[in-house]
Structure 1
Amino acid sequence: MTVPPSDALLNRLKAMVGPSGWTDDPEILAPRLVEWRDRWSGATPLMLSPATTGETAAIVRFCAAEGLALTVQGGNTGLVGGQIPQGEILLSTRRMRAIRDVDPVDDVLVAEAGVTLAEVQAAAAEAGRRFPLSLASEGTATLGGVVSTNAGGVAVLRFGSARDLVLGLEAVLPNGEVWGGLRRLRKDNTGYDLKGLLSGAEGTLGVITAASVKLFPRPAGRAVAMVALEGPDAALDLLSRARRNADAGLEAFELMARQGIEFALRNIPGQRDPLSGAPPWRVLLEIASPDPAGAGHLMETLLSEASEAGVIGEAVIAASESQAAALWSLRENQSAAQKPEGATWKHDISVPVSQVPRFLREASGAMAAFAPGCRISAFGHVGDGNIHFDVLRPEGGDNAAHLARRAEGQARVHDIAIALGGSVSAEHGLGVMKADEARRQKDPAEIALLTTIRSALDPGRILNPRVLF
């Protein structure tokens, strides 16, 4: 059971990290205590920023002994509230910034938890390799954070989520012991997959301090295109053709509804629509190839075939890196573009790929009946069945009234996803936002197993006490 920290205990924690490793300054703390969408805000008596694994271990060991709760935070880009403390001590990994090794022979990069995802990508590129995990928030999101939440991103279709890219971890366990599991092996059949267990545990089973991750060859050719289509069923047809034509070279396949595009064009400076006629749906797809000309040839062949079959309408292929970036910007700004539009019910669901069209039809119909006039922005990674289904208040409507119905509305959307064999969280995690909803949906035996694992490792519930089960 956790207890409020006394001034004496706080002073002992401060001494562990020195003057550069702590702050209680309200101005410095303020941006760390608010989630970027302003849905969650919190409070903490102290933020600790250890610079080493040893300092992290000393903090966790002390807190475990004294019954002090910790909330762990990386880049504060999480979308389910798990990184915002509500009175707990805030443990930030922001000072653990070293890239310890880049090995292009083993195709491994080892970096500490506070290194941003963009910095990991840049270090890999400097060695002539590639780290493929990519998010809209990669300039701020940290390696420790994306592994702890098992983040997905736009290249899951080919490379998998964060858990699939991890070879080994270094972590401080809830009792303060350090697990030195920074292995580089592709095959290690010697027991439980501990790195897999901590990946996606949202900081509840240990504080990740470093990770060894997989690197890949950099593609010589890349083609990015945006196409218009009439609906999600056509998107599945195009996806099937893309897989057949491009095989493993298909890296991204992103579906976007017209409403989200309109938000981006209206609310994000510099956005332009490359397609005419405001199509009801569109797909952004990317193909990579080891042949400099191969990706473009594959894309042209695919789109020509799909057009002749009547699957797609207008299409545009980026002719330069800047044009490719502009196409991707429309996709990456889908969430940010919603913020000026008012209150939103966010959903990060997954269903079997074959069920994406049915989910969109049923969920859209349910929300139109439940919240007349609501605006639906649906977008996501159709290639892996992950849809961000966001329900915004009616234009000119009342934010408070819309938010008051959020829990019931979200439950209806989640019920549809679960009935189709899906999940209430595809890539954002549960945090504090979805723990109760997941508990409502999951099998009792699964809940019991999850809680048993957590209780065994953290009986005092010291780490991220309000997160998960």
Structure 2
Amino acid sequence: MKLNPADSRLAEAIRARLGADVLRPIADRYLEEPRQRFVGQPGLLALPRTVEDVSALVQLAADARVPVVPYGGGTGLVGGQVVPDGPVPLIVSLERMTAIRATYPTENILVAEAGAILADVQTAAEDADRLFPLSLAAQGSCRIGGNLATNAGGVNVLRYGNARDLCLGLEVVLPSGEIWHGLSRLRKDNTGYDLRNLMIGSEGTLGIITAAALKLFPRPKGVGTAMFQVSSPEAAIDLLSVARDQVGEAVSTFELIHGQGLEFLTEVLPDVRQPFAATPEWSVLIELGLSVGQDPSDMLEAIYVAADERDLVRDAVIAQSEAQRSELWAVRERIPEANRLIGSVSSHDISVPISRIPEFIRRGADVVAGQGPFRVNCFGHLGDGNLHYNVFPPAGQDKSEFVAQRGAVKRAVHDLVHEFGGSVSAEHGVGRLKTDDLERYGDPVKMQAMRAIKAALDPQGIMNPGAVLA
């Protein structure tokens, strides 16, 4: 069905129904995304204050057959937040809907509006002596609605799961403008189809998340952080097994770091203090969240001793203070910044079965070498199988010299991921960047079902057109 542009007539209808202050001039940030692969079109920008405002906006857009783009923090990396072509859209930003509506410490639940910044949700949980464990590099600017819409991951998935696993209920405005009041606090509810999990990860193509009931957890009474040198990715996987044998589910973070990432830090961010005098080829950042009576240093030392007996580790630095812990985390958290400063030819957010990661890394090196003399920085969330497999130009050359090869590099890496039974979108979503990949690698029956769901819920195709489904 043909869509219409967001024009002056729609603007007049919005002002008449919701008041003049809902519409705002469009700043450049609403038309950009971090990797600068897509540039949005300046249609209309609306900043609703309530779920009823969102409902009215979507109803008006549906009546006028105008595309609607939900906008959170703008931190998405696959272009899901911008529309580069087609009729200019109505952009609905949730940034005024930031309330923490309720906290239920005895139930370990917090209800937040979709525009709440992730760091503020974490703080609200802390104020109730609880933990909301979703943790991302962009947590100071990303918003919880966008986190849920993309099923965000992060560094604590190993212990606590993705955003999907941290949500009990949702409030959603559907493409018709109707409000689904699904803010359930129940942990058991088998009354029909699970609309919550359908909306989570749908990237605004099936509705606009306006609020969520989120799971909280007890705050760890002790935190232990260390960087271990390992001999290989195989040794890193075995180290994870050793750590779990020693401390069980207390392992909350287990991050694989390649020496190329550390060399990038040395090259462009020399202020980052690195833990080892010589750059190791492979290392692991491990963090434990412990109960009362457990000593973090003792637990980490026990892991090191057990791993050393199996010749898995070569050295380790165990944080003895919060300052040292921050220094270790800075190494991991600033690798993406160094990557951006170097400039990648092609970046890949992929996952493969954990036991096959070492083989994938070996095969991946050969696949990339077949495309050219590129450098690879492979790092990420080893404990849940999610790697950020990024390809960079040779030293001394700029990524602009290899733009023509970007597609071939991406295809080669993604073909290998598919061969290994993996996913070409582990935690960043599909957006507009990976719609062709979804068509190429997606199961045909799944794709047919997805199109049927989209047609049933959004028959006019107004919700974030071009995202997820081309």
What TM-score do you get using the length of structure 2 for normalisation? 0.96
Contact kept? 2:10, 2:61, Cα under 8 Å: no
Offset at residue 229 of structure 1 (A):
1.6
Residue 127 of structure 2 aligns with which residue? 126
- Matched to 2:227, the amino acid is M
Offset at residue 394 of structure 1 (A):
1.8
- Matched to 2:319, the amino acid is A
Contact kept? 1:175, 1:458, Cα under 8 Å: yes
Contact kept? 1:14, 1:48, Cα under 8 Å: no
- Matched to 1:169, the amino acid is L
Residue 441 of structure 1 aligns with which residue? 441
- d(CA) in 1 for partners of 2:123 and 2:345? 34
- Matched to 1:157, the amino acid is L
- d(CA) in 2 for partners of 1:450 and 1:82? 17
Offset at residue 262 of structure 1 (A):
1.8
Contact kept? 1:50, 1:96, Cα under 8 Å: yes
Which SS does the other structure have where 1:272 is aligned? coil
Residue 381 of structure 1 aligns with which residue? 381
Q: Which moved more, 1:83-92 or 1:442-451?
A: 83-92
Which SS does the other structure have where 2:468 is aligned? coil
Question: Which consecutive segments of 4 or more residues in structure 1 shift more than 4 A?
Answer: none
- d(CA) in 1 for partners of 2:287 and 2:17? 48
Residue 256 of structure 2 aligns with which residue? 255
Q: Which moved more, 1:39-48 or 1:435-444?
A: 39-48
Residue 28 of structure 2 aligns with which residue? 30
1:72-83 → structure 2 map (5 Å cutoff)? 72-83=70-81
- d(CA) in 2 for partners of 1:92 and 1:49? 5
- d(CA) in 2 for partners of 1:282 and 1:343? 22
**1:153-189: CA deviation from partner (whole Å, max 9, x where unpaired):** 1010011100011000000001100000000011111
1:35-434 → structure 2 map (5 Å cutoff)? 35-86=33-84, 87-268=88-269, 270-372=271-373, 374-434=374-434
- Matched to 2:329, the amino acid is W
- d(CA) in 1 for partners of 2:452 and 2:157? 30
1:467 aligns with 2:464: no
Q: Which moved more, 1:77-86 or 1:109-118?
A: 77-86
Q: Which moved more, 1:136-145 or 1:13-22?
A: 13-22
Residue 21 of structure 1 aligns with which residue? 22
- d(CA) in 2 for partners of 1:344 and 1:292? 48
Say if 1:255 and 1:16 are closer, same or farther in 2 by CA, change over 3 A. Answer: farther
**1:3-23: CA deviation from partner (whole Å, max 9, x where unpaired):** 113312222224444343222
**1:249-301: CA deviation from partner (whole Å, max 9, x where unpaired):** 01010001111112223333631111121110110001111125333322110
Contact kept? 1:222, 1:296, Cα under 8 Å: no
- d(CA) in 2 for partners of 1:44 and 1:458? 23
- d(CA) in 2 for partners of 1:18 and 1:170? 24
Which SS does the other structure have where 1:176 is aligned? coil
Which SS does the other structure have where 1:468 is aligned? coil
Where in structure 2 are there 5+ consecutive unaligned residues? Answer: none
Contact kept? 1:24, 1:45, Cα under 8 Å: no
* Cα RMSD (Å): 1.3
What TM-score do you get using the length of structure 1 for normalisation? 0.97
Which SS does the other structure have where 2:211 is aligned? strand
Contact kept? 1:44, 1:85, Cα under 8 Å: no
- d(CA) in 1 for partners of 2:388 and 2:307? 26
Contact kept? 1:168, 1:182, Cα under 8 Å: yes
- d(CA) in 2 for partners of 1:403 and 1:198? 35
- Matched to 2:379, the amino acid is F
Offset at residue 247 of structure 1 (A):
0.8
Which SS does the other structure have where 2:376 is aligned? strand
Offset at residue 369 of structure 1 (A):
1.7
- d(CA) in 2 for partners of 1:267 and 1:41? 27
Contact kept? 2:47, 2:96, Cα under 8 Å: yes
- d(CA) in 2 for partners of 1:16 and 1:79? 34
Aligned length: 465
Contact kept? 2:297, 2:320, Cα under 8 Å: no
Which SS does the other structure have where 1:344 is aligned? coil
How many percent identity over aligned positions?
44
- Matched to 1:148, the amino acid is A
Contact kept? 2:172, 2:207, Cα under 8 Å: yes
- d(CA) in 2 for partners of 1:15 and 1:227? 62
- Matched to 1:68, the amino acid is V
Offset at residue 218 of structure 1 (A):
0.4
- d(CA) in 2 for partners of 1:448 and 1:437? 15
Where in structure 1 are there 5+ consecutive unaligned residues? Answer: none
- Matched to 1:340, the amino acid is L
- d(CA) in 2 for partners of 1:382 and 1:267? 25
Contact kept? 1:17, 1:49, Cα under 8 Å: no
